[in-house]
């Protein structure tokens, strides 16, 4: 994953057999704003001569050729084939300064995977009838803007003209306006944070910002996956995984799971990892009535009207320790794991609802039992709460030790 600032041309993408009028409308607005355009047809039932890039040309980029799209038989198979063809096509384009797509379920499925493959910073707008629901599968960990058209994308009317016009002007604004570049060349590091570890990370970034470009990621599933993706791309000098809570959600069915490959990217990229146990005292669920039946009798805390937290037990903490160290032990790069003996989050402190030193000790013992210590792999107990200034000071020392070259 790279970062782009190239202005280039606006690629306007959709199925011309059903949305040609709307696509040409957007093209006219962008051209009127001074943006060069390329109209791309990704229809699966015909190929429009009105498009700068006809659907047949896009389909030819499929490994199976044009027939893989136009003789697929079933619509779903054709849509998947055009998706693959469009991804392959867009990878060959060197002048993509921005991209805007129009679609229902089929068009959205075809266009957004290619958008996800474009560099961060390349303007991406997807006007989709699916934009008012769960858009995670379409956005992934990229910077796609999803816009709901209100009416269906089925002709120009007083509503669609306004919505599509706003989308076109938004893309024009992103492409034409200069973004100030950082006035430094400090190396970047990735840092994970949750609301309940915010004091730690705020102090950490204040201490490190004179040396590093600190990029903070919310450890809520997409944030963790974005941290992993950017780490794998080679963007970071190192990773400071203060908040490893996504391990708990992955293992015990929480809604903030970043999947089975979280905590692997630093090892694969060969960059140093300094981390801790932030928010491993909890598993995240939505509203109380969504919590799985087997957890209904557990210690629960209402974070807000939409989020409910469950305190992890000693057995669960031990399992987390074993799973997490299994990831860290794979790294050939330096790994320093700091254990905050005073507590793991705002809720895990004396007088707070999740304060449970015995459960925490099960985690700490598991980490120490399973972590493979070496000259470059260290596990250190720190007699402070994770949000204490004293803990942050020690964390900063380890970051400087491993990441200043």
Ordered by where they begin, the domains of the chain are 9-176 (3.40.50.12020), 188-403 (3.40.50.12030)
Identify the pLDDT of residue 281: 98
| Cα distance between residue 168 and residue 172, in whole Å | 6
Which pLDDT tens digit goes with each residue over 66-100? 999 999 889 999 999 999 999 999 999 999 999 99
pLDDT at 5 over 50: no
Per the model's pLDDT, the better-predicted residue between 3 and 172 turns out to be: 172
Lowest mean pLDDT among 146-150, 249-253, 300-304, 323-327: 300-304
If one compares 236 and 182, the residue with the highest pLDDT of the two is 236
**Mean pLDDT, residues 174-196:** 92
Exposed, middle or buried, 26 (CB in 10 Å: 0-12/13-18/19+)? buried
Q: What is the pLDDT of residues 22-71, one digit of tens each?
A: 999 999 999 999 999 999 999 998 777 789 999 999 999 999 999 999 99
pLDDT on residue 49: 73
Predicted confidence at residue 405, as pLDDT, reads 76
Q: How confident is the model at residue 310 (pLDDT cuts 50, 70, 90)?
A: very high
Tell me how far apart the alpha carbons of residues 6 and 45 are, in angstroms, rounded to a whole number: 33
Give the residue-averaged pLDDT of 374-396.
Answer: 98
Task: State the DSSP string of 203-262.
Answer: HHHHHHTTTSEEEEEESSSHHHHHHHHHHHTT-EEEEEE---THHHHHHHT-TT---TTT
Say how far apart CA 108 and CA 14 lie, in whole Å.
9
**The pLDDT of residue 6 is above 60:** no
pLDDT in tens, 268-293: 999 999 999 999 999 999 999 999 99
Mean pLDDT of 133-146: 94
Residue 180: the pLDDT is 86
pLDDT over threshold 60, residue 382: yes
Locate 69 and state its tokens. Answer: 């799209």
State how far the Cα of 98 lies from the Cα of 123, in Å rounded to an integer.
Answer: 5
Question: Is pLDDT at 183 greater than 90 in this prediction?
Answer: no
């Amino acid at each position: 994953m790279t970062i782009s600032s190239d202005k280039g041309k606006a690629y306007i993408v959709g199925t011309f057999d059903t949305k040609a009028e709307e696509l040409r409308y957007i093209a006219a607005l962008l051209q009127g704003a001074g943006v060069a355009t390329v109209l791309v047809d990704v229809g699966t039932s015909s190929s429009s001569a009105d498009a700068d890039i006809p659907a047949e040309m896009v389909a030819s980029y499929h490994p199976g050729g044009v027939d893989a799209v136009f003789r697929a038989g079933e619509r779903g198979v054709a849509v998947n084939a055009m998706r693959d063809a469009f991804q392959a096509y867009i990878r060959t384009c060197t002048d993509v300064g921005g991209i805007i797509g129009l679609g229902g379920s089929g068009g959205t499925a075809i266009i957004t995977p290619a958008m996800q493959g474009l560099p961060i910073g390349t303007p991406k707008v997807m006007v989709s009838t699916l934009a008012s629901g769960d858009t995670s599968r379409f956005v992934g960990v990229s910077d796609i803007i999803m816009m709901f058209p209100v009416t269906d994308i089925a002709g120009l009317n007083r509503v669609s003209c306004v919505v599509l016009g706003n989308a076109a002007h938004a893309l024009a604004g992103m492409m034409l306006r200069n973004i100030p570049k950082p006035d430094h060349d400090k190396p970047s590091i990735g840092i994970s944070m949750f609301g309940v570890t915010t004091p730690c990370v705020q102090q950490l970034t204040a201490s490190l910002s004179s040396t590093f470009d600190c990029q903070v990621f919310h450890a809520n599933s997409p944030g963790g996956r974005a941290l992993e993706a950017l780490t794998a791309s080679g963007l970071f000098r190192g990773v400071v995984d203060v908040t490893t809570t996504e391990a708990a959600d992955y293992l015990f069915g929480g809604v903030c799971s970043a999947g089975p490959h979280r905590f692997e990217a630093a090892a694969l990229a060969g960059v140093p990892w300094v981390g801790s146990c932030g928010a491993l005292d909890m598993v995240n669920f939505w509203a109380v009535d969504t919590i799985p039946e087997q957890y209904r009798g557990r210690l629960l805390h209402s974070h807000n009207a939409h989020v409910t937290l469950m305190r992890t037990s000693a057995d669960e903490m031990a399992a987390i320790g074993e799973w997490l160290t299994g990831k860290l032990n794979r790294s050939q790069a330096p790994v320093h794991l700091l254990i905050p003996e005073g507590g793991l989050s705002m809720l895990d402190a004396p007088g707070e609802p999740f304060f449970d030193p015995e459960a925490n000790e099960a985690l700490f013992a598991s980490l120490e039992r399973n972590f493979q210590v070496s000259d470059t792999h260290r596990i250190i107990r720190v007699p402070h709460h994770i949000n204490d200034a004293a803990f942050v000071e020690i964390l900063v020392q380890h970051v400087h030790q491993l990441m200043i070259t």
